[in-house]
Structure 1
Amino acid sequence: MPDFGILGQPYAEPLRSSIGVNRRREWIILSALMTRPNAFISTNALIDAMWDTGPPRTAREQVMNCLGSIRRAITASGAADMGLDRVRDGCVFGIDAERIDHVVFSRLHVEAESAKALGRVESSLGLYERALALWRGGVYDGLDVPSLASHTAALEEQQAIVAEEYFALSIATGRGSGVIPRLLRHVGEHPLRERGVALLMSALHGEGRTHDAYAVYASLARRLGEGLAVGPGREVRQALDAILNGTVQLPAPRTDAFSDAEMSAPS
């Protein structure tokens, strides 16, 4: 289990005794460092993380003080494989990236997709499960860091994709009943994600709950009509057609890769 993380309330287990939970500024800086392990992060980027607008005249000094606190915490932890090095007008948080939850999450996602492409269904399902289990809440839970919003959005989108691929594979292998509760939560959290809705409709219909599947469709149609003045898209319409025809059809799998560029954060 990774001992550093941002997929929920940020944590750094080896530094916990040195950086108290109430030291918000240190946690903002540490979160930015965990977001980009082993990469250069400018002092200006850290100032932006701490103050979205209107940083005080002492901003640079305060950031340096926070970096000093984190550096001392690393030293106190006794970890020989971790460091915070000053580089030009910035720093690099050196660490085995596999100790950080979002890095492990992204690796497991790639491995799950590879296993699925090779027809290794059970392995793929297990890898998806392990990836989703790393999430303890929202990204940077408890911290408001607008400068990291793009990274937050990219990770949350990737989580939704992983969940939907896991659901689709579960339904395709006859495990639909087991994922319905999680699908219901997923659609509740992402009511306008049409792939999730289509999967929930297919799972409900496959378990003989066709009336509930129609209700899910109607709810989406109402939301889209009231909010956007449009109707459900192709995936959901195909799911409805399959139900009307008495079959179960899963939405087509995603074919687009989740690029490294989408996961990068500004330095």
Structure 2
Amino acid sequence: MEVLADGERIAMGGPRQRVVLAMLLLAPNRIVSIDRLTEAVWNGNPPATSRTQLAICVAGLRKVFQAAGCPDDVIVTMPPGYMLNTGQHTVDAVEFAESVNTAQLLVHHRRSAEAAEHLRTALALWRGGVLDDVSSAVIQHEASALDKQRLTAYEEYATLQLGLGRHREVVTELSTLVQDQPLWEHARAALMVAHYRSGRRSDALRVFREAREVFSTELGLEPSRELQDLHTAILQESPDLLSAPVRAGRVWAEAAEALLPPVPSSFVGRTAELAALDRLLDVRSAGSGPGSGPTVGLVVGRPGVGKTALVTHWANRVANSFPDGQLYADVAENPDPEAVLEQFLGALGVDAAEAPDRFADRVALFQRATASRQILVVLDGVGSPAQIKSLVPAGRGSCLVLTSRRMHAMHTQVRLRVDALPSAAAVSLLEQLIDENRVGADRAAARQVAELCGGEPVALRAAAARLVTKSHWRLGHLIQRLRDERHRLDELSHGQPGMRAVLESGYRSLTPEAASMYRHLGLLSAAELDARAAAALLATSVDRAESLLEELVDAALLEADAQGADGVFRYRVPTLLALHARERLENEESLGRRDEARQRLRVHHDCVAAPAGRP
């Protein structure tokens, strides 16, 4: 790492300052959290004074830049950390990415010679190992991602040169690339063609034999149809091999990155949850051995609690850690794995016309395409592990993050349950969505709105939408409307999605018996119950009632509260869920059945209370 001002190298201080600067350089114009900087500087073992020492490091770097003649702050403080503001300055990694992007556009317009020149310019920026003079496990992992981008660019450059008839010049480069990345099939195909066109047919066949051995050992798979067809063509000495174009490798981060939803326009809090997700990067950095799968995180929570916003915010924040692409699919909205897989393969550069016909073959192609790459895959709204089995990337450098309403029994490195926002964060969200002055003028009222919304982000957004469209309303007027429990969900069902629609989607996923239990929760006068009370509601056994309550917990439509001294579990019904349950009860159960259930519950409470009232 070096910093130049007017061509002169600047001394950037001691090892800690160099680590801090390297972390900021790896994420230009993006916030790097203090927690992430702490992990990089002290490798997971920070002192109690780490925050103070980081502030001293940043202050020292600012002095260096100022002394070098930078009029503005190169490093700016932006909670929860710091950001390197590139401004008019240049970062060679950014220039590299821009040149590669330009080359990609030129390839798309069939201007191969110009594209190859841009890639040559991009590759000329590399002067050695990435940040190999900076001692930090976190940085070395991030640096490996940059090096993977370099190798991808080399693959494309060599393929373009081959298409331009410069096959002898690229044999050495392609051989090195295949040695570094033995599972990259496009590089192997290009090397086989380069050998063949250079009169080395035996070497071309040897490259295929090595591919078969590597793929069998590492993945338990045969090489792709592309390599097998090329092998057959070489055996048959097909004349097409001397003139047919070689399809360029098209697994570029930019193609897949478009699938990731944009950063949520308003996002607050969730510091602990983001830190928990950051552990996925740490686990991935540690590695888990050859042949192992991706790092997996599971984020669960009830409808409307903000799982998607959390994961989308985190995924955009760490996107640069996955240079080979970021893939996203809402599998609740589109539950067909074949359609999602087609979308993913398209993002990875596989033309639909070139994809295999059989679904199993397309799954194998996806496994090969991700085997040696660092891909982030986000699957939103997972119903069951079986639903997404064909969408799991193969590479151990990849990461799979799932959101679900259920805590599935599956192997994960991070499991995270998302709850409602605390009061302060909920008020902050209202400030972002409405108007800081409008909320600040009556913070007590804003806290009441947050409480009536249960701290649920979807409900808070709906409440904010009401206030934005009704600029003449005061917060107090909305509070009066929200206090009417019979119409609260009406008030909170504005915008997309509304709170009622979110709860309805969860309710419709229940089995008929569990749905009946959910509806009858609307009869409760208190927010808590146990299996005995639930049994009275449905006139069933205590064991069966507990099973149904646990099904509701699994569906995130009920919360397991605590186990009492009597060994009986208590369950809690969040307010908005209770209101929705009451609506469903009134719409789907007759008045007579409701009265019968209400009477059974009354008798149960009388029996429980009777012993305590005896002398």
TM > 0.5 between the two?
yes
Residue of structure 2 equivalent to 1:17 = 10
Q: What does 1:132-147 correspond to in 2, within 5 Å?
A: 132-147=123-138
Aligned residues: 255
Pairing 1:31–2:22 present: yes
What secondary structure does 1:163 align onto?
Answer: helix
Match of 1:44 in 2: 35
| Structure 2 residue corresponding to 1:126, chosen from 87, 108, 117 | 117
SS of the equivalent of 1:157 reads helix
Q: More displaced, 223-232 or 97-106?
A: 223-232
Extract unaligned runs of 5+ from structure 2.
259-315, 323-615
Which of 212, 233, 250 lines up with 1:242 in the alignment?
Answer: 233
Deviation at 1:136, TM superposition (A): 2.4
Give per-residue Cα distances to partners, 1:30-74, cap 9 Å, x unaligned. 011111222222222211221231211121122112112211110
The 3-state SS of whatever aligns with 1:54 is coil
Contact between 2:31 and 2:80, CA under 8 Å: does it hold in 1? no
Matches within 5 A, 1:106-185: 106-148=97-139, 151-185=142-176
Aligned partner of 1:254: which letter?
R
Residue 219 (structure 1) aligns with? 210
RMSD: 2.6
| Counterpart position of 2:320 | 264
Structure 1 unaligned blocks of 5 or more:
1-9
User: Taking structure 1 as the reference length, what is the TM-score of the superposition?
Assistant: 0.84
Moved more, 243-252 or 184-193: 243-252
Relative to the length of structure 2, the TM-score reads 0.39
In the TM superposition, residue 252 of structure 1 has moved relative to its aligned partner by 5.4
Cα distance between partner residues in 1 of 2:81 and 2:66: 19
Aligned counterpart in structure 1 of residue 250 of structure 2, from 230, 254, 259: 254
Shift of 1:197: 1.2
Q: Deviations over 1:162-182 (max 9, x none)?
A: 211111111112111111111
* Corresponding position of 1:6: none
Question: What is the CA distance between 1:144 and its match in structure 2?
Answer: 4.6
Q: What percent identity do the matched residue pairs reach?
A: 28
- Moved runs in structure 1, 4+ residues, more than 6 A? none
Task: Kindly state the Cα deviation for residue 202 of structure 1 after the two structures are TM-superposed.
Answer: 0.8
Amino acid at match of 2:250: R
- SS of the counterpart of 2:10? coil
Q: Distance in 2 between matches of 1:175 and 1:26?
A: 45
For residue 188 of structure 2, give the secondary structure of its aligned residue in structure 1.
helix
How far off its partner does 1:127 sit? 0.4
1:241 to partner: Cα distance: 2.1
Superposition deviation, residue 209 in structure 1: 0.6
Q: Any idea what SS the aligned residue of 1:138 has?
A: coil
Q: Distance in 1 between matches of 2:210 and 2:184?
A: 12
1:65 to 25, 39, 56: 56
Question: Residues 216 and 53 of structure 1: is their aligned pair in 2 closer, same or farther, counting only changes over 3 Å?
Answer: same
Counterpart of 2:12, as a letter, is I
* AA in 2 matched with 1:142: D
* Separation (CA, whole Å) in 2 of partners of 1:226 and 1:91: 44
Alignment match, 2:579: none
Q: Residues 172 and 41 of structure 1: is their aligned pair in 2 closer, same or farther, counting only changes over 3 Å?
A: same
For 1:7, the equivalent position in structure 2 comes to none
Whose relative contact order is higher, 1 or 2, with alpha carbons under 8 Å and at least 6 apart?
A: 1
- Say yes or no: does 1:207 pair with 2:198: yes
Q: Is the 8 A contact 1:37 1:97 kept in 2?
A: no
Q: What is the Cα deviation at residue 77 of structure 1?
A: 0.6
Residue 32 of structure 1: SS of its match in structure 2?
helix
Tell me the amino acid that sits aligned with residue 11 of structure 2: S
Structure 1 counterpart of 2:178: 187
CA distance in 2, matches of 1:263, 1:179: 32
Query: Secondary structure of 1:264's match?
Result: helix
User: Which of 1 and 2 has greater Rg?
Assistant: 2
**Which residue does 2:47 correspond to in 1?**
56
Distance 2:227 2:135 in 1: 35
